[in-house]
Amino acid sequence: MMAITSGLAFIYMRSIGWSLGVAACVFGFFLVLDLTFLSANLLKIVEGGWVPVLVAIIVFTIMSTWWHGRRVMWASMVAVLLIAVAAPSALRIIDERLSPPESDDQSLSSRSVVPAKPQMTDPPKITDQPRSLEQNVRPGRPAAKESSAQPAPAAAAPQTEPPPAAAVPPR
């Protein structure tokens, strides 16, 4: 990490007008210091330091694969857009070749995948009986029958007297 920072500092020093000799001396000092720390820590790789190195390699592989896949995807999208703009008939030919063959029966591939608009129903009334779990899981079953019994009135809260005030002796 220090080597990268020192290298960028060297490039910056040269860009603002430092001479090559002075910039190389400063960069060389920090490079020697960084390589000393690196060589001391290389011994730890055998003793268990290989685990973070392995994790870093796995993460790098995933990220580079993702990056390459995104480049390929965008290149193919640009190619399709260029074909669509340059020759719309060519796009129609490609679409016909990629679409599944039509069949006479109403198979899944030839049916529309747009769901039907749901039917609006009245919200449940307060007096309706709650539906059982089985009726909720299987939507084709009839709803529970309404009972003719009126809901029971709410029981009145029992009347309780407030506790007596604590007697405070006079002073």
Residue 4 lies in a domain: yes
DSSP 57: H
Average pLDDT of every residue of the chain? 75
Q: What is the mean pLDDT of residues 86-94?
A: 70
User: Given the structure tokens 């190389």, which residue do they identify?
Assistant: 24
Is the predicted pLDDT of residue 62 greater than 90, yes or no?
A: yes
Domain that holds residue 29: 1-42
pLDDT at residue 83, rounded to an integer? 73
Whether 34 has a pLDDT exceeding 70, the answer reads: yes
Rounded-to-integer distance, Cα 29 and Cα 74, Å: 45
What's the mean pLDDT in 85-106? 67
Compute CA 18 distance to the chain's CA centroid, rounded to the nearest angstrom. 48
Q: What is the pLDDT of residue 5?
A: 86
Report residue 70's pLDDT band, with 50, 70 and 90 as the boundaries. very high
Q: Is there a contact between 142 and 166 (Cβ–Cβ < 8 Å)?
A: no
* Residue 110 resides in a domain: no
- Euclidean distance between CA atoms 56 and 59, whole angstroms: 5
Both tokens assigned to 80? 């399709």
pLDDT tens, 119-152?
666 665 665 555 555 555 555 555 555 555 555 5
Say yes or no: 24 and 61 in one domain.
no
Whether the model pTM is above 0.75: no
Residues 89, 55 share a domain: yes
pLDDT tier for residue 66 given thresholds of 50, 70 and 90: very high
> Looking at the structure, do residues 38 and 53 belong to the same domain, yes or no?
no
> Whose structure tokens read 């007297």?
161
Closest CA to 84 of 98, 74, 94: 94
Residue 114 predicted with pLDDT over 90:
no
Residues 19 and 58 in one domain: no
